[in-house]
Homo-oligomer: A and B are copies of this chain.
Amino acid sequence: MEYATQMEAAKKGILTQQMQSVAAQEQIAPETLLQRVAAGTVVIPANHHHKSLRPHGIGQGLSTKINVNLGISGDCRDYTCELAKAKLALQFDAEAIMDLSNYGKTNTFRKQLLELSTAMVGTVPMYDAVGYLEKDLRDIKAKDFLEVVRAHAEEGVDFVTIHAGINRKSIDSFERSGRRMNIVSRGGSLIYAWMKMTGNENPFFEYFDDLMDILYAHDVTISLGDAMRPGCIDDATDAAQVSELVELGLLTERAWSHHVQVMIEGPGHMMLQEIAPNMQMEKRLCHNAPFYVLGPLVTDIAPGYDHITSAIGGAVAAAAGADFLCYVTPAEHLRLPSLPDVKEGILAAKIAAHAGDLVKNVPGARAWDNRMGDARRALDWGAMFKEALDREKAEAYFQSAHPAEKNTCTMCGKMCAVRNMNRILQGESVSLQ
Protein backbone atom coordinates (compact mmCIF):
# COMPACT_ATOMS: atom_id res chain seq x y z
CA MET A 1 0.00 0.00 0.00
CA GLU A 2 1.44 3.34 -1.01
CA TYR A 3 -0.60 5.26 1.54
CA ALA A 4 -2.31 4.79 4.87
CA THR A 5 -4.81 7.66 4.78
CA GLN A 6 -6.99 9.36 2.19
CA MET A 7 -5.02 12.53 2.82
CA GLU A 8 -1.72 10.82 2.18
CA ALA A 9 -3.07 9.31 -1.03
CA ALA A 10 -4.33 12.71 -2.17
CA LYS A 11 -1.02 14.37 -1.43
CA LYS A 12 0.63 11.70 -3.64
CA GLY A 13 -1.92 12.32 -6.37
CA ILE A 14 -3.55 8.92 -5.95
CA LEU A 15 -7.27 8.91 -6.63
CA THR A 16 -8.70 6.32 -4.26
CA GLN A 17 -11.86 4.32 -4.72
CA GLN A 18 -13.40 6.31 -1.85
CA MET A 19 -12.62 9.61 -3.59
CA GLN A 20 -14.16 8.37 -6.82
CA SER A 21 -17.29 7.29 -5.04
CA VAL A 22 -17.63 10.60 -3.16
CA ALA A 23 -16.97 12.67 -6.30
CA ALA A 24 -19.66 10.79 -8.23
CA GLN A 25 -22.17 11.19 -5.46
CA GLU A 26 -21.45 14.92 -5.02
CA GLN A 27 -21.38 15.55 -8.79
CA ILE A 28 -17.93 17.17 -8.73
CA ALA A 29 -14.74 16.40 -10.64
CA PRO A 30 -12.62 13.70 -8.92
CA GLU A 31 -9.50 15.85 -9.41
CA THR A 32 -11.12 18.76 -7.57
CA LEU A 33 -12.03 16.49 -4.70
CA LEU A 34 -8.50 15.04 -4.59
CA GLN A 35 -7.03 18.52 -4.28
CA ARG A 36 -9.35 19.33 -1.41
CA VAL A 37 -8.56 16.11 0.45
CA ALA A 38 -4.85 16.86 0.01
CA ALA A 39 -5.34 20.40 1.34
CA GLY A 40 -7.40 19.12 4.27
CA THR A 41 -10.50 21.12 3.33
CA VAL A 42 -12.39 17.87 2.74
CA VAL A 43 -12.22 14.69 4.82
CA ILE A 44 -13.40 11.21 3.87
CA PRO A 45 -13.59 9.33 7.17
CA ALA A 46 -13.09 5.69 6.17
CA ASN A 47 -11.31 3.35 8.55
CA HIS A 48 -9.59 0.44 6.76
CA HIS A 49 -11.49 -2.00 8.94
CA HIS A 50 -15.01 -0.62 8.42
CA LYS A 51 -16.05 -2.95 5.61
CA SER A 52 -19.74 -2.04 5.37
CA LEU A 53 -19.02 1.69 4.92
CA ARG A 54 -20.41 3.71 2.07
CA PRO A 55 -17.92 6.59 2.17
CA HIS A 56 -18.97 10.24 2.39
CA GLY A 57 -16.97 13.42 2.08
CA ILE A 58 -17.30 16.31 4.50
CA GLY A 59 -16.11 19.79 3.69
CA GLN A 60 -15.54 22.43 1.04
CA GLY A 61 -18.13 22.47 -1.75
CA LEU A 62 -19.86 19.28 -0.63
CA SER A 63 -23.37 18.80 0.67
CA THR A 64 -23.84 19.30 4.41
CA LYS A 65 -23.79 16.03 6.33
CA ILE A 66 -25.57 15.10 9.55
CA ASN A 67 -24.66 12.93 12.51
CA VAL A 68 -26.91 10.92 14.82
CA ASN A 69 -25.81 10.25 18.41
CA LEU A 70 -26.80 7.08 20.22
CA GLY A 71 -25.30 4.54 22.60
CA ILE A 72 -25.61 2.51 25.77
CA SER A 73 -25.47 4.42 29.01
CA GLY A 74 -25.76 3.50 32.67
CA ASP A 75 -29.36 4.61 32.93
CA CYS A 76 -30.50 3.14 29.60
CA ARG A 77 -29.11 -0.25 28.69
CA ASP A 78 -31.47 -1.22 25.93
CA TYR A 79 -29.23 -2.58 23.15
CA THR A 80 -32.19 -3.30 20.87
CA CYS A 81 -33.47 0.26 21.13
CA GLU A 82 -30.05 1.74 20.36
CA LEU A 83 -29.71 -0.49 17.30
CA ALA A 84 -33.19 0.59 16.21
CA LYS A 85 -31.96 4.21 16.40
CA ALA A 86 -29.07 3.28 14.13
CA LYS A 87 -31.48 1.77 11.61
CA LEU A 88 -33.62 4.90 11.72
CA ALA A 89 -30.52 7.00 11.04
CA LEU A 90 -29.72 4.87 7.99
CA GLN A 91 -33.34 4.96 6.79
CA PHE A 92 -33.28 8.77 6.69
CA ASP A 93 -29.82 8.92 5.12
CA ALA A 94 -27.84 10.28 8.05
CA GLU A 95 -24.24 10.10 6.87
CA ALA A 96 -22.75 9.51 10.32
CA ILE A 97 -23.58 7.78 13.58
CA MET A 98 -21.71 8.51 16.78
CA ASP A 99 -21.72 5.72 19.31
CA LEU A 100 -21.49 7.45 22.68
CA SER A 101 -21.78 4.26 24.71
CA ASN A 102 -20.21 4.57 28.13
CA TYR A 103 -21.51 1.59 30.05
CA GLY A 104 -21.41 -2.18 29.88
CA LYS A 105 -20.28 -4.17 26.86
CA THR A 106 -19.35 -1.17 24.75
CA ASN A 107 -17.18 -3.09 22.33
CA THR A 108 -19.85 -5.72 21.64
CA PHE A 109 -22.29 -2.98 20.71
CA ARG A 110 -19.67 -1.08 18.71
CA LYS A 111 -18.87 -4.17 16.66
CA GLN A 112 -22.54 -4.77 15.90
CA LEU A 113 -22.94 -1.14 14.87
CA LEU A 114 -19.88 -1.23 12.60
CA GLU A 115 -21.17 -4.36 10.93
CA LEU A 116 -24.54 -2.90 10.04
CA SER A 117 -23.66 0.74 9.46
CA THR A 118 -23.12 1.99 5.92
CA ALA A 119 -22.83 5.42 7.59
CA MET A 120 -19.48 6.45 9.01
CA VAL A 121 -19.13 5.68 12.70
CA GLY A 122 -17.60 8.03 15.24
CA THR A 123 -16.86 7.63 18.94
CA VAL A 124 -15.56 9.61 21.90
CA PRO A 125 -12.98 7.17 23.34
CA MET A 126 -12.80 9.21 26.53
CA TYR A 127 -16.34 8.13 27.45
CA ASP A 128 -15.33 4.52 27.14
CA ALA A 129 -12.04 4.83 29.02
CA VAL A 130 -13.39 4.28 32.51
CA GLY A 131 -15.27 1.15 31.52
CA TYR A 132 -12.61 -0.22 29.16
CA LEU A 133 -9.72 0.23 31.58
CA GLU A 134 -11.76 -0.86 34.62
CA LYS A 135 -10.26 1.96 36.66
CA ASP A 136 -11.77 5.09 38.15
CA LEU A 137 -10.92 8.37 36.46
CA ARG A 138 -8.09 9.54 38.75
CA ASP A 139 -6.25 6.22 38.52
CA ILE A 140 -5.99 6.22 34.73
CA LYS A 141 -2.47 6.94 33.46
CA ALA A 142 -1.84 9.31 30.58
CA LYS A 143 -0.80 6.66 28.09
CA ASP A 144 -3.72 4.41 29.10
CA PHE A 145 -6.04 6.82 27.28
CA LEU A 146 -4.22 6.16 24.03
CA GLU A 147 -4.86 2.44 24.40
CA VAL A 148 -8.60 3.07 24.33
CA VAL A 149 -8.19 5.06 21.13
CA ARG A 150 -6.13 2.24 19.66
CA ALA A 151 -8.86 -0.29 20.48
CA HIS A 152 -11.48 1.86 18.72
CA ALA A 153 -9.19 2.38 15.73
CA GLU A 154 -8.56 -1.33 15.37
CA GLU A 155 -12.26 -2.09 15.51
CA GLY A 156 -13.01 0.15 12.53
CA VAL A 157 -14.22 3.49 13.93
CA ASP A 158 -14.05 6.12 11.17
CA PHE A 159 -13.60 9.22 13.31
CA VAL A 160 -12.91 9.92 16.97
CA THR A 161 -13.60 13.01 19.00
CA ILE A 162 -10.49 13.92 20.95
CA HIS A 163 -10.47 16.91 23.29
CA ALA A 164 -6.83 17.85 22.75
CA GLY A 165 -7.30 21.61 22.77
CA ILE A 166 -8.24 21.90 26.44
CA ASN A 167 -4.68 22.20 27.74
CA ARG A 168 -3.04 24.23 30.48
CA LYS A 169 -2.85 27.23 28.18
CA SER A 170 -6.51 27.37 27.11
CA ILE A 171 -7.73 26.42 30.60
CA ASP A 172 -6.00 29.54 31.86
CA SER A 173 -8.45 31.62 29.80
CA PHE A 174 -11.40 29.72 31.23
CA GLU A 175 -10.22 30.06 34.81
CA ARG A 176 -9.31 33.75 34.55
CA SER A 177 -12.50 34.85 32.78
CA GLY A 178 -15.09 32.58 34.40
CA ARG A 179 -18.37 31.88 32.63
CA ARG A 180 -21.99 31.12 33.47
CA MET A 181 -22.09 27.41 32.57
CA ASN A 182 -18.44 26.34 33.03
CA ILE A 183 -17.66 23.28 30.87
CA VAL A 184 -20.66 21.39 29.46
CA SER A 185 -18.77 18.97 27.22
CA ARG A 186 -18.92 15.53 28.79
CA GLY A 187 -15.48 14.51 27.51
CA GLY A 188 -14.06 17.95 28.18
CA SER A 189 -15.21 17.99 31.78
CA LEU A 190 -13.64 14.57 32.36
CA ILE A 191 -10.31 15.73 30.95
CA TYR A 192 -10.50 18.87 33.07
CA ALA A 193 -11.30 16.83 36.22
CA TRP A 194 -8.45 14.43 35.45
CA MET A 195 -6.00 17.28 34.93
CA LYS A 196 -7.04 18.91 38.21
CA MET A 197 -6.93 15.64 40.17
CA THR A 198 -3.55 14.50 38.81
CA GLY A 199 -1.86 17.84 38.15
CA ASN A 200 -0.88 16.58 34.68
CA GLU A 201 -1.19 18.11 31.22
CA ASN A 202 -4.00 16.83 28.94
CA PRO A 203 -2.70 13.42 27.79
CA PHE A 204 -4.10 13.86 24.27
CA PHE A 205 -2.17 17.11 23.97
CA GLU A 206 0.97 15.85 25.64
CA TYR A 207 1.14 12.68 23.54
CA PHE A 208 -0.38 14.12 20.39
CA ASP A 209 2.25 12.62 18.09
CA ASP A 210 1.73 9.13 19.54
CA LEU A 211 -1.98 9.61 19.05
CA MET A 212 -1.36 10.56 15.43
CA ASP A 213 0.58 7.35 14.84
CA ILE A 214 -2.43 5.31 15.97
CA LEU A 215 -4.92 7.26 13.86
CA TYR A 216 -2.65 7.26 10.81
CA ALA A 217 -2.23 3.48 10.82
CA HIS A 218 -5.97 2.85 10.40
CA ASP A 219 -6.99 6.12 8.73
CA VAL A 220 -9.12 7.34 11.60
CA THR A 221 -10.12 10.97 11.13
CA ILE A 222 -9.56 13.10 14.21
CA SER A 223 -12.48 15.30 15.19
CA LEU A 224 -10.88 17.87 17.44
CA GLY A 225 -13.43 18.31 20.23
CA ASP A 226 -14.45 21.64 21.69
CA ALA A 227 -14.38 20.96 25.41
CA MET A 228 -15.10 24.60 26.14
CA ARG A 229 -18.00 25.13 23.77
CA PRO A 230 -20.57 27.51 25.22
CA GLY A 231 -23.30 25.77 27.24
CA CYS A 232 -25.55 28.81 27.26
CA ILE A 233 -26.11 31.93 25.17
CA ASP A 234 -24.15 33.98 27.68
CA ASP A 235 -20.91 32.00 27.25
CA ALA A 236 -20.75 32.13 23.45
CA THR A 237 -17.59 33.36 21.73
CA ASP A 238 -15.85 33.99 25.05
CA ALA A 239 -12.19 33.78 26.01
CA ALA A 240 -12.36 30.07 26.88
CA GLN A 241 -14.03 29.05 23.62
CA VAL A 242 -11.77 31.14 21.42
CA SER A 243 -8.57 30.16 23.25
CA GLU A 244 -9.38 26.50 22.69
CA LEU A 245 -10.16 27.13 19.02
CA VAL A 246 -6.71 28.70 18.61
CA GLU A 247 -5.21 25.48 20.02
CA LEU A 248 -7.33 23.37 17.67
CA GLY A 249 -6.01 25.36 14.71
CA LEU A 250 -2.44 24.80 15.82
CA LEU A 251 -3.08 21.07 16.29
CA THR A 252 -4.71 20.83 12.87
CA GLU A 253 -1.43 21.58 11.12
CA ARG A 254 0.38 19.11 13.34
CA ALA A 255 -2.12 16.35 12.47
CA TRP A 256 -1.84 17.16 8.78
CA SER A 257 1.94 16.78 8.98
CA HIS A 258 1.15 13.15 9.97
CA HIS A 259 -1.30 12.88 7.02
CA VAL A 260 -4.15 12.46 9.51
CA GLN A 261 -7.50 13.85 8.37
CA VAL A 262 -8.97 16.53 10.65
CA MET A 263 -12.39 17.95 11.48
CA ILE A 264 -13.00 20.69 14.03
CA GLU A 265 -15.93 20.59 16.44
CA GLY A 266 -17.84 23.73 17.27
CA PRO A 267 -20.62 25.32 19.32
CA GLY A 268 -22.96 24.94 21.12
CA HIS A 269 -25.32 27.65 22.41
CA MET A 270 -25.06 30.95 20.55
CA MET A 271 -27.16 33.93 19.45
CA LEU A 272 -28.01 34.04 15.78
CA GLN A 273 -25.79 36.97 14.88
CA GLU A 274 -22.69 35.30 16.28
CA ILE A 275 -23.00 32.19 14.12
CA ALA A 276 -21.63 33.41 10.79
CA PRO A 277 -18.65 35.17 12.43
CA ASN A 278 -17.89 31.95 14.31
CA MET A 279 -17.89 29.96 11.07
CA GLN A 280 -15.45 32.44 9.55
CA MET A 281 -13.23 32.38 12.63
CA GLU A 282 -13.01 28.59 12.51
CA LYS A 283 -12.13 28.55 8.82
CA ARG A 284 -9.39 31.11 9.39
CA LEU A 285 -7.86 29.71 12.56
CA CYS A 286 -8.14 26.09 11.46
CA HIS A 287 -6.92 26.58 7.91
CA ASN A 288 -10.26 25.67 6.31
CA ALA A 289 -10.53 22.28 8.01
CA PRO A 290 -14.17 21.04 7.88
CA PHE A 291 -16.35 22.35 10.68
CA TYR A 292 -18.62 19.99 12.63
CA VAL A 293 -21.13 21.85 14.80
CA LEU A 294 -23.43 20.77 17.62
CA GLY A 295 -26.35 23.13 17.12
CA PRO A 296 -25.80 26.00 17.51
CA LEU A 297 -28.84 26.33 19.75
CA VAL A 298 -30.04 29.90 19.32
CA THR A 299 -31.82 30.16 22.67
CA ASP A 300 -31.74 28.38 26.03
CA ILE A 301 -35.41 28.74 26.97
CA ALA A 302 -36.97 25.91 24.98
CA PRO A 303 -36.18 22.51 26.53
CA GLY A 304 -38.40 19.98 24.77
CA TYR A 305 -37.88 21.84 21.47
CA ASP A 306 -34.12 21.91 21.10
CA HIS A 307 -34.38 20.09 17.77
CA ILE A 308 -35.93 23.38 16.61
CA THR A 309 -33.54 25.78 18.38
CA SER A 310 -30.72 23.74 16.85
CA ALA A 311 -32.27 23.50 13.37
CA ILE A 312 -32.37 27.31 13.30
CA GLY A 313 -28.73 27.59 14.29
CA GLY A 314 -27.64 24.63 12.18
CA ALA A 315 -29.23 26.04 9.03
CA VAL A 316 -27.58 29.40 9.54
CA ALA A 317 -24.27 27.70 10.34
CA ALA A 318 -24.43 25.50 7.24
CA ALA A 319 -25.31 28.49 5.07
CA ALA A 320 -22.26 30.27 6.52
CA GLY A 321 -19.88 27.36 5.91
CA ALA A 322 -20.45 24.61 8.50
CA ASP A 323 -19.90 21.25 6.83
CA PHE A 324 -21.36 18.74 9.25
CA LEU A 325 -24.26 19.07 11.70
CA CYS A 326 -24.75 16.99 14.80
CA TYR A 327 -28.43 16.38 15.33
CA VAL A 328 -30.14 17.49 18.52
CA THR A 329 -33.38 15.87 19.68
CA PRO A 330 -36.37 17.23 21.62
CA ALA A 331 -34.98 15.30 24.62
CA GLU A 332 -31.79 17.40 24.83
CA HIS A 333 -31.20 18.70 28.37
CA LEU A 334 -33.98 16.41 29.72
CA ARG A 335 -33.35 12.71 29.12
CA LEU A 336 -31.76 10.19 26.78
CA PRO A 337 -33.80 10.40 23.56
CA SER A 338 -36.43 7.82 22.71
CA LEU A 339 -36.86 6.41 19.21
CA PRO A 340 -39.49 9.06 18.26
CA ASP A 341 -37.19 11.78 19.66
CA VAL A 342 -34.40 10.47 17.45
CA LYS A 343 -36.65 10.67 14.40
CA GLU A 344 -37.62 14.28 15.19
CA GLY A 345 -33.96 15.14 15.64
CA ILE A 346 -32.91 13.53 12.37
CA LEU A 347 -35.59 15.33 10.34
CA ALA A 348 -34.81 18.70 11.91
CA ALA A 349 -31.11 18.24 11.13
CA LYS A 350 -31.81 17.13 7.55
CA ILE A 351 -33.92 20.27 7.03
CA ALA A 352 -31.16 22.49 8.42
CA ALA A 353 -28.54 20.80 6.24
CA HIS A 354 -30.65 21.17 3.10
CA ALA A 355 -31.49 24.81 3.84
CA GLY A 356 -27.73 25.37 4.02
CA ASP A 357 -27.14 23.40 0.82
CA LEU A 358 -29.48 25.72 -1.10
CA VAL A 359 -27.29 28.63 -0.07
CA LYS A 360 -24.08 26.72 -0.78
CA ASN A 361 -25.58 25.89 -4.17
CA VAL A 362 -24.47 22.27 -3.97
CA PRO A 363 -25.38 20.27 -7.09
CA GLY A 364 -28.94 18.97 -7.04
CA ALA A 365 -30.16 20.89 -3.98
CA ARG A 366 -32.23 23.56 -5.74
CA ALA A 367 -33.56 21.09 -8.30
CA TRP A 368 -35.17 19.09 -5.47
CA ASP A 369 -37.12 22.11 -4.25
CA ASN A 370 -38.09 22.94 -7.81
CA ARG A 371 -39.53 19.46 -8.31
CA MET A 372 -41.65 20.00 -5.21
CA GLY A 373 -42.80 23.38 -6.57
CA ASP A 374 -43.80 21.74 -9.85
CA ALA A 375 -45.70 18.99 -8.02
CA ARG A 376 -47.55 21.58 -5.97
CA ARG A 377 -48.49 23.71 -8.97
CA ALA A 378 -49.87 20.58 -10.67
CA LEU A 379 -51.67 19.56 -7.43
CA ASP A 380 -49.99 16.20 -8.00
CA TRP A 381 -50.14 14.72 -4.51
CA GLY A 382 -48.28 11.54 -5.45
CA ALA A 383 -45.36 13.59 -6.71
CA MET A 384 -45.44 15.79 -3.59
CA PHE A 385 -45.19 12.73 -1.33
CA LYS A 386 -42.38 11.34 -3.48
CA GLU A 387 -40.34 14.53 -3.01
CA ALA A 388 -41.14 14.87 0.71
CA LEU A 389 -38.24 14.42 3.12
CA ASP A 390 -40.56 12.28 5.27
CA ARG A 391 -42.99 10.76 2.82
CA GLU A 392 -44.81 8.72 5.42
CA LYS A 393 -45.71 11.68 7.62
CA ALA A 394 -46.74 13.91 4.71
CA GLU A 395 -48.99 11.22 3.29
CA ALA A 396 -50.52 10.36 6.69
CA TYR A 397 -51.36 14.02 7.31
CA PHE A 398 -53.00 14.42 3.93
CA GLN A 399 -54.91 11.15 4.16
CA SER A 400 -56.24 11.95 7.63
CA ALA A 401 -58.47 14.75 6.34
CA HIS A 402 -61.06 14.66 3.60
CA PRO A 403 -61.60 17.71 1.41
CA ALA A 404 -64.92 17.88 -0.44
CA GLU A 405 -63.17 19.40 -3.45
CA LYS A 406 -61.10 16.85 -5.35
CA ASN A 407 -57.34 17.48 -5.48
CA THR A 408 -57.32 20.20 -2.81
CA CYS A 409 -56.57 19.81 0.89
CA THR A 410 -58.72 20.85 3.84
CA MET A 411 -56.60 23.95 4.45
CA CYS A 412 -58.41 25.81 1.64
CA GLY A 413 -60.79 23.47 -0.18
CA LYS A 414 -62.51 25.37 -3.01
CA MET A 415 -60.55 28.47 -2.08
CA CYS A 416 -57.27 26.72 -2.98
CA ALA A 417 -55.15 29.40 -4.64
CA VAL A 418 -53.32 26.86 -6.79
CA ARG A 419 -56.57 25.35 -8.10
CA ASN A 420 -58.08 28.75 -8.82
CA MET A 421 -54.98 30.16 -10.49
CA ASN A 422 -54.68 27.07 -12.70
CA ARG A 423 -58.29 27.58 -13.80
CA ILE A 424 -58.10 31.30 -14.46
CA LEU A 425 -54.77 31.01 -16.30
CA GLN A 426 -56.35 28.36 -18.52
CA GLY A 427 -59.16 30.78 -19.34
CA GLU A 428 -61.72 28.99 -17.19
CA SER A 429 -63.88 30.80 -14.69
CA VAL A 430 -63.63 30.42 -10.91
CA SER A 431 -66.70 29.63 -8.86
CA LEU A 432 -66.67 29.22 -5.10
CA GLN A 433 -70.21 28.00 -4.75
Residues of A within 8 A of B (CB): 73-76, 102, 127, 130, 136-138, 180-186, 188-190, 192-193, 196-197, 231-235, 271-273, 298-305, 307-309, 311-312, 315-316, 319, 330-336, 347-348, 350-352, 354-356, 358-359, 366, 368-370, 372-374, 376-377, 384, 387-390, 393-394, 397-398, 400-404, 409-418, 420-425, 429-433
- Copies of this chain in its oligomeric complex: 2
Determine the distance from Cα of A188 to Cα of B416 in the docked complex, in whole angstroms. 11
Q: Which of A232, A359, A417 has the most CB of B within 10 A?
A: A417
Please tell me which one of the listed residues B373, B397, B418 contacts residue A330 in the complex, with CB atoms under 8 A apart. Answer: B397
Question: In the bound complex, do residue A303 and residue B432 qualify as a contact, i.e. CB atoms below 8 Å apart?
Answer: no
Question: In the bound complex, do residue B412 and residue A186 qualify as a contact, i.e. CB atoms below 8 Å apart?
Answer: yes
Nearest residue (CB) in B for A303 is: B394
Nearest residue (CB) in B for A74 is: B413
Question: In the bound complex, do residue A180 and residue B373 qualify as a contact, i.e. CB atoms below 8 Å apart?
Answer: yes
Main secondary structure of the interface of A (DSSP, over half): helix
Determine the distance from Cα of A335 to Cα of B396 in the docked complex, in whole angstroms. 10
Question: In the bound complex, do residue A394 and residue B334 qualify as a contact, i.e. CB atoms below 8 Å apart?
Answer: yes
Q: How far is the CB of A282 from chain B (nearest CB, A)?
A: 19
Q: Which residues of B contact A397 (CB under 8 A)?
A: 303-304, 330-331, 334-335
| 24 chain-A/chain-B pairs, Cβ below 8 angstroms | A73-B415, A75-B401, A137-B432, A138-B429, A180-B370, A181-B373, A181-B418, A184-B421, A185-B417, A186-B415, A193-B420, A193-B421, A231-B418, A232-B369, A232-B372, A273-B319, A298-B315, A302-B354, A303-B388, A305-B393, A308-B311, A333-B411, A334-B411, A336-B411
